[in-house]
Amino acid sequence: MAQRCYVPHMVKRFTKRNEGFCCLHCGGEVPAGSHGTIRNHCPSCLYSQHTDIDPGDRAATCRGLMTPVHAYYLSGTITLVHRCARCGFERENKIAQAPGVAPDDLPRVYALMRESAHTAPVR
């Protein structure tokens, strides 16, 4: 059974790391976040990598590819849910909507939200 961990409600430790990276899914160069945001997924394909136990600590040993599996809107924020393809760990991440360095691909996010409406649990 997949491990479920919705981080925004559970984690008290957060290490700010605003670093660019190369996407392991699509190969795109992902710049660091802007306007006070911290980038943790590719803005083009929305994939991430399982690198953290607590956000920013880089302590996870799995290093599996995190697939975007759900997206939902709540209180003015769109949130992605990523699931690790290797170990099943799940984590929520807000999308980058503000103009600036590499905002998320909104048509892709909206498509994921439409798909999620039929499969995601009610929040």
- The mean pLDDT of the chain is 81
Residue 22 lies in a domain: yes
From the list 1, 7, 11, 19, the residue with the least C-alpha distance to 82 is 7
- What confidence score (pLDDT) does residue 88 get? 94
Are the C-beta atoms of 110 and 95 separated by less than 8 Å? no
Residue 82 lies in a domain: yes
Residues of the chain falling short of pLDDT 70? 1-12, 14-15, 17, 34-37, 99-101, 118-123
Residue 2 lies in a domain: no
- What confidence score (pLDDT) does residue 37 get? 67
- What confidence score (pLDDT) does residue 101 get? 67
Domain assignment of residue 21, given as a range: 7-116
Are the C-beta atoms of 97 and 37 separated by less than 8 Å? no
Residue 104 lies in a domain: yes
Residue 83 lies in a domain: yes
Distance CA 99, CA 95 (A): 12
- What confidence score (pLDDT) does residue 30 get? 87
How many domains is the chain built from?
Answer: 1
- What confidence score (pLDDT) does residue 118 get? 65
Residue 121 lies in a domain: no
Residue 1 lies in a domain: no
- What confidence score (pLDDT) does residue 61 get? 87
pLDDT in tens, 73-94: 999 899 999 999 999 999 998 8
Residue 123 lies in a domain: no
